[in-house]
Amino acid sequence: MKNRVLTSFAIIVCFLVLGAGLGVYTSKYYRTDAAAKPEIEGLLWPNPKQIGPFTAIDHNGNPFGLEQLMGKWSFVFFGYTHCPDVCPITLSVLNQVYQKLAAENAVNNVQVIFVSVDPERDTKEQLASYVEYFNKEFIGVGGTGQQIASLGQQMGIVYYHGEKSSSGEYAVDHTASVFLIDPSGRWVALFSAPHQAEDLVNRLLAIQHFIDGQV
């Protein structure tokens, strides 16, 4: 009887030790897992969204789709060339970002893409003139409304065309956020306005470092 009690006690102790050990291991695992994601504002992790195939046209009249996003880090901004404030301000900041990256020899795998949400007025000629004003390396993307939607809907882009004035002018309400797509075609970050060049550069470099370490 005494031996049976001692045996039972030993089994209970073993379970308690095992349970404690498992608890420590589990706690350590989740702390490590949580620490794996850096505190980078706007980073969409651990579930970045894979961009699916889409079709559009760049400002040179060439096809632009998912293939053109692959292999580079892409800053993507949705707007229109008749925009009075948000678009020129944002593209000016993105030009500063591009120049800062160029000064650090870190721009070769980065591209800036301006997607028009006003296909009626933003012809490829209009887009070419507009984006090249800010930076000759920027890419303007347009096409039909359906073509623009093929990309915009994947990223939750909502925009509204206002009523036309007597002169035919109208405004387009659109997001002021900048989207970051990685070289694998995944939407990995969302940068909300207001934007500052130094901040965007620092967040891009931090995200690049983090994601490169996940491969």
Where do we find the tokens 């579930």?
47
Number of domains in the chain: 2
What distance in Å separates the CA atoms of residue 131 and residue 112, rounded to the nearest whole number?
A: 10
As a whole number, mean pLDDT of residues 188-210 equals 96
Q: Do the domain assignments include residue 41?
A: no
| 160 Ramachandran zone, left/alpha/beta (phi>0; psi -120 to 50) | beta
66-72: long-range contacts (C-beta < 8 A, 24 or more apart)? 66/185, 68/139, 69/181, 69/185, 70/183, 70/184, 70/185, 71/109, 71/183, 72/109, 72/110, 72/111, 72/183
Q: How confident is the model at residue 30 (pLDDT cuts 50, 70, 90)?
A: very low
Answer for the pair 142, 127: CB distance below 8 angstroms, yes or no: yes
Q: Do the domain assignments include residue 43?
A: no
Q: Domain range holding 121?
A: 49-212
65 & 3 share domain: no
Which pLDDT does position 215 carry in this prediction? Answer: 64
Per the prediction, the chain carries an average pLDDT of 85
Which pLDDT does position 158 carry in this prediction? Answer: 87
What distance in Å separates the CA atoms of residue 84 and residue 96, rounded to the nearest whole number?
A: 20
End-to-end CA distance of the chain, in Å? 59
163 & 102 share domain: yes
Where do we find the tokens 């897992």?
33
Question: Of residues 64 and 15, which shows the higher confidence score?
Answer: 64
Q: Do the domain assignments include residue 191?
A: yes
- Written as one string, the DSSP assignment of the chain is -HHHHHHHHHHHHHHHHHHHHHHHHHHHHHHHHHHHS---TTB--S-PEEPPP-EEEETTS-EEEGGGTTTSEEEEEEE-TT-SSHHHHHHHHHHHHHHHHHHTT--TTEEEEEEES-TTT--HHHHHHHHHHH-TT-EEEE--HHHHHHHHGGGT---EE----TTS---EE----EEEE-TTSEEEEEEPSS--HHHHHHHHHHHHHHHHTT-
Where do we find the tokens 């095992």?
18
- Number of other residues whose CB lies within 10 A of the CB of residue 121: 15
Whether pTM exceeds 0.85: no
Q: Do the domain assignments include residue 42?
A: no
The least confident of 24-28, 69-73, 174-178, 191-195 is 24-28
Q: Do the domain assignments include residue 11?
A: yes
125 & 27 share domain: no
As a whole number, mean pLDDT of residues 107-111 equals 96
95 & 172 share domain: yes
Q: Do the domain assignments include residue 55?
A: yes
